[in-house]
Structure 1
């Protein structure tokens, strides 16, 4: 199946952590330096940077050095891939539920129910 790729698995793993989801939410507002990004989190900077590494390794964010600061931004492509996978799954399950509803309606008609 095309959607069961390692990058997508890594992206969902990265998003399973609340700290990393909070980072993604903050970066949705625009790019920001690591030091500003780390401010609201009660952890040592090296620990916080590990979270950023997980997000960057799976392709959800990108970072670049500018002078003495490192800046982070979201990478839309990985989010699009995850959204496409979820839309595909939603369609598949909607179709299955529609078929089940049709089957149950037909079964009820055959039995003579209301």
Structure 2
């Protein structure tokens, strides 16, 4: 497999790629949807919501956390997760710019 040569791209492009890649799995989308619905939760709650084993959910949580999409605080012997609004605002800005640019160009696709 070839190298990705990430150094050839801007910091913003690399950051957005990491975030979007982390969202590229339906289980992670389900976790984000659940966190948006409840505003914050304990890992056990997430495991109860998904048809996945606890270690699998933990791995998905780790990927989301590494990408900055969620953040977690230790509360006793559990970790409370929530959405990292800064990362979501970064994504929103990117997609807002994309939509705005497309609207201005009024592009017609083949």
CA distance in 1, matches of 2:39, 2:96: 25
- Alignment gaps of 5+ in structure 1: 101-114
Find out whether 1:25 has 2:17 as its counterpart.
Answer: no
TM-score by length of 1: 0.78
- Alignment gaps of 5+ in structure 2: 1-8
Which range moves more in the overlay, 20-29 or 52-61?
Answer: 20-29
SS at match of 1:72: strand
| Inter-CA distance 87–2: structure 2 relative to 1 (3 Å threshold) | farther
- Partner residue, 1:45: 54
| Inter-CA distance 80–24: structure 2 relative to 1 (3 Å threshold) | same
Which consecutive aligned stretches of 4+ in structure 1 deviate over 3 angstroms post-superposition? 1-4
CA distance in 2, matches of 1:81, 1:4: 9
Cα root mean square deviation, aligned: 1.9
- Find the structure with the greater CA-based Rg: 1
- Partner residue, 2:70: 61
Q: Residue 42 of structure 1: CA displacement?
A: 2.0
Contact 1:8 1:78 (C-alpha < 8 Å) held by counterparts: no
Q: Residue 40 of structure 1: CA displacement?
A: 2.0
Contact 1:3 1:85 (C-alpha < 8 Å) held by counterparts: no
Higher RCO, Cα 8 Å, sep 6+? 1
